[in-house]
Chain A
Amino acid sequence: MPSALFWIFVLVMLVFGVMVVVNRSPVASALSLVVCFLGLAALYISLDAFFLGVIQILVYAGAVMVLFLFIIMLLDLKAEQRRHFNLIAMFGGIVVIVLFVKVLWDVCYGFQGGNAVFPAIQNTEHGDTWQVGMALFQQYKLPLQMIGALIVVASVGAVLLSKRELK
Chain B
Amino acid sequence: MTDILLGLVWALVKAVGLVFVIILPMVSYTVYAERRVSAMIQDRLGPNRVGPMGLLQPIADAVKLLLKEDFTPASVNKFYYWLAPACAMAPSLMALAVIPFGSNLFGLPMVVANVDVGVLWVFAVSSLGVYGIVLAGWSSNSKYPFLGGIRSSSQMISYELSLGLSVIPIFLICGTLNLPNIVKYQIENGWLISPIWLKGISLTGINFPLLVSSIFSVDALVKILLWVPLFISFVVFMVSMFAETNRLPFDLPESETELVGGYHTEYSSMKFALFFLGEYAAMITGSAVIVTLFFGAWHVPFLPNDPSQFPWLGDLVLGIIHIAAFFIKVAILLFFFIWVRWTLPRFRYDQLMRLGWYFFFEIALANILLVAIILAFAPK
Contact = CB atoms under 8 A, between A and B. Distances in A.
Given A50-B117, A69-B153, A73-B134, 15 more contacts: A2-B4, A31-B131, A54-B124, A55-B120, A58-B123, A61-B124, A62-B123, A62-B124, A62-B127, A62-B130, A62-B160, A70-B150, A73-B138, A127-B177, A129-B117
Contact of B157 (A50, A57, A63, A129): A63
Interface string A121-154: 0000001110000000000000000000000000
Interface of A: 2, 27, 31, 34, 50-51, 54-55, 57-58, 61-63, 66-67, 69-70, 73, 127-129
A62 to B, nearest CB: 3
Given A54-B124, A57-B125, A127 B116 contact: yes
Residue with the greatest number of chain B CB neighbours at <10 A, chosen from A51, A62, A128? A62
A61 B117 contact: no
Contacts of A58: 120, 123-124, 127
B178 to A, nearest CB: 7
A70 B138 CA distance: 10
8 contacts: A54-B120, A62-B130, A66-B127, A66-B134, A66-B156, A70-B134, A127-B177, A128-B116
A155 to B, nearest CB: 13
A95 B130 CA distance: 39
Contacts, number: 66
Interface in B44-91: 80
Contacts of A31: 131
A128 B128 CA distance: 23
Interface in B168-218: 177-178
Contact of B154 (A50, A54, A70, A73): A70
Contacts of A61: 124, 127-128
A106 B130 CA distance: 41
Given A61-B128, A63-B157, A54 B134 contact: no
B231 interface: no
Contacts of A54: 117, 120-121, 124
Interface hub of A34, A51, A61, A129 (most chain B Cβ within 10 A): A129
A137 to B, nearest CB: 13
Interface in B110-169: 115-117, 120-121, 123-125, 127-128, 130-131, 134, 138, 146, 149-150, 153-154, 156-157, 160
Contacts of B121: 54
